[in-house]
A and B are shown apart, each in its own frame.
Chain A
Amino acid sequence: MSNPLPADSVGIVTPQTFRCDAPLALQCGETLPGFELVYETYGTLNAAASNAILICHALSGNHHAAGYHAADDRRPGWWDACIGPGKPIDTNRFFVVSLNNLGGCDGSTGPRSINPATGTEYGPDFPAVTVPDWVRSQALLADHLGIARFAAVIGGSLGGMQAMQWAIDQPDRLQAAVLIACAARLSAQNIAFNEIARQAIISDPSFHGGRYRAHSANPDLGLMLARMVGHVTYLSDDGMRQKFGRELKSGDLALGRDVEFQVESYLHHQGRSFSSRFDANTYLLMTRALDYFDPARDAGDDLVAALERARCRFLVLSFSTDWRFSAERSREIVDALIRARKNVASANIESTHGHDSFLLQIPRYFAVLGTYLNRLADEVSGAR
């Protein structure tokens, strides 16, 4: 191996597949005859199976949260900064489970899977899945792994929504829920951004009503635009100024020829790499799951009543410049948890990186998360 892996990496990991042959009734009324979830694990499950942590991914995430698939991988998993030996989610102490959600495009059953009823890919006919559906499928994975109760369910953004749903739907199966840069429901502005992204994809001539693969096509342009809009909302004005300013990537401003600003180049790159790796139908499905998430609706539009069912403790984290899921949205969750008389701690982390902050190695963020989980590790291992 020419480049040895970093010492604080979980190292080489191999994805595994959990197959559930029992039918899964979805919230939309349809039933999946069976399904597969691809997942990875890091660390070791203790004898009491009390040290497991579930990582829930955000919109475009997958099961590969930490480590490398091969020694020559250019990049580790999407949350490698946070998961590993001695890191805030410490694999010396916890057994970490990370999966690709149902409806995903990285190996779990989704729009690219074969519909047993037709013998062809589901494509746009894959049923709508919701955050509660995800939680039920994740609980089946936990059964399979012999985990009766997670020490913590952790997620950022859409992942935080899953952690919140876990607290409500599976109250006896988690000790702590860690909600990072999330909201109890999307604002109209958030839904609007998602709709722009969806329209960019749907109106791409290569979309073919979602049957692009049957046409040997891919709505690259639509996906790219969707991702570009997304990235603008994941950064802050200040963060973009710091990162890109008005630097030119190419061309001559004075002559007005072939001008490309750094920020344009960044968005083009993000958009292109996204359209080559992500499935358009999955993107539509994931953004719909985001839009529909609203645990308060089933409790008479009362978030406090919805959260009263929870029995776990909560840690709610937000970031100062996040405007996609602002600190105010986290405050709403904290206030509802206090009203519901739940154990809750919260912190608003100073950061210039907007919503993207939840993926980054920010010293205070990691100190807060690491301290909280370290105490939890003491408790589940019986040291406290």
Chain B
Amino acid sequence: MRADLSIIADLVAPGARVLDLGCGDGELLAYLQAHKQVNGYGLEIDADKITMCLASGVNVIEQNLDTGIANLPDDSFDLVIMTETLQSVRDPNHLLDEMLRVGRECVVTFPNFGHWRCRAQLALNGRMPVSRHLPHAWYDTPNIHLCTFDDFERLCRDKALQIIERFVVDPDHRARPLINRFPNFFGTYAFYRLGRPPSANAGGPLHGAPA
């Protein structure tokens, strides 16, 4: 399995109800289904990836995240996952609220625009950063809302969201001592596990997996 997905899989409790926003080819959900008795749903818009999900027996729903997830009921998932998609949606701020409306907790991963290579390219070359973890040129990038880890944490603070866990890793999804020391400078990807603001966490009991 993709290294980032195996980090997330470790965060999922057996039998949990999971929603995967931008689920791609369904690899994570198929794994969780097979190994953690998780039966959730994935939202995706790419036609080929949807077909791959169907081949894996994943509950894939064709839905564009930019039109929101208002169709999904409150408190219907234990965990809402969004891997490397936050930076390419139209309204990440609102989507975070929505993720924590439909789910008790969420896991968000995204690339760090504050990585030293990005800083160096902009500061020294005067060019928009292009790197292994951000491979697109400015004119064809799907990443319209890039941020640094510090930016993201500031947003979480402003929204009073709980940061339950954070992992910061290198391009190969490995943890490094230097990264742990200076995550916003040496970290490439971050995994945030977030909870609702303490006052809002009065959701009712959650029910079992789909029949």
Contacts and interface: CB of A to CB of B under 8 A. Distances in A.
Interface of A: 310-311, 315, 331, 334-335, 338-339, 341-348, 350, 364, 367-368, 371-372, 374-375
Contacts of B51: 364, 367-368, 371
Nearest to B19: A338
B172 interface: no
A331 B50 CA distance: 16
B28 interface: no
Nearest to B52: A371
A342 B211 contact: yes
A334 B39 contact: no
Interface string B50-64: 110111111111100
Given A364-B51, A367-B51, 12 more contacts: A310-B211, A331-B71, A335-B71, A335-B72, A338-B73, A339-B73, A341-B209, A341-B211, A344-B41, A345-B53, A364-B47, A371-B55
A197 to B, nearest CB: 32
15 contacts: A331-B71, A341-B207, A342-B210, A342-B211, A343-B39, A343-B210, A345-B54, A346-B60, A347-B47, A347-B50, A347-B62, A367-B51, A371-B51, A372-B54, A375-B54
Given A331-B71, A339-B73, A343-B210, A371 B54 contact: yes
Contacts of B71: 331, 335, 338
Nearest to B45: A348
Interface in B127-156: none
Interface in B181-211: 207-211
Contacts of B57: 375
Contacts of B50: 347, 368
Interface in B15-72: 39, 41, 47, 50-51, 53-62, 71-72
Contact of A346 (B56, B62, B207, B208): B62
A341 B19 CA distance: 12
A65 B143 CA distance: 48
Contacts of A315: 54
Nearest to B26: A345
Interface residues of B, number: 24
A316 B54 CA distance: 12
**Most chain A CB inside 10 Å of its own CB: which residue of B59, B60, B208:** B59
B55 A344 contact: no
Interface of B: 39, 41, 47, 50-51, 53-62, 71-73, 76, 207-211
Contacts of A375: 54-57
A346 B71 CA distance: 14
Interface SS, B side: loop
A341 B59 CA distance: 11
Contacts of B39: 343
Contacts of B47: 347, 350, 364
A185 B45 CA distance: 26
A334 B73 CA distance: 13
Contacts of B73: 338-339
B211 A311 contact: yes
A48 B2 CA distance: 39
Nearest to A350: B47
Nearest to A330: B62
Contacts of A331: 71
Top 9 closest A-B pairs, CB basis? A341-B210, A371-B54, A335-B71, A347-B62, A372-B54, A346-B61, A343-B210, A345-B60, A371-B55
A343 B58 CA distance: 9
Nearest to A311: B211
Given A331-B71, A371-B51, A375-B54, A344 B207 contact: no
Contacts of A372: 54
Contacts of A364: 47, 51
Given A311-B211, A338-B41, A343 B54 contact: no
A347 to B, nearest CB: 5
Contacts of A374: 55
Contacts of B209: 341
Contacts of A347: 47, 50, 62
B196 to A, nearest CB: 21
Nearest to B61: A346
B55 A345 contact: no
Given A338-B41, A338-B72, A371-B51, A345 B58 contact: yes
**Most chain A CB inside 10 Å of its own CB: which residue of B58, B61, B73, B209:** B61
A339 B75 CA distance: 11
Contacts of B61: 334, 338, 344-346
A371 to B, nearest CB: 5
A338 B39 CA distance: 12
A343 B38 CA distance: 12
A334 B62 CA distance: 10
Given A343-B39, A372-B54, A348 B62 contact: yes
A343 B33 CA distance: 12
Contacts of B210: 341-343
Nearest to B42: A345
Nearest to B44: A347
A368 B61 CA distance: 12
A371 B204 CA distance: 38
A345 B39 CA distance: 12
A348 B73 CA distance: 21
Nearest to B58: A345
B145 to A, nearest CB: 26
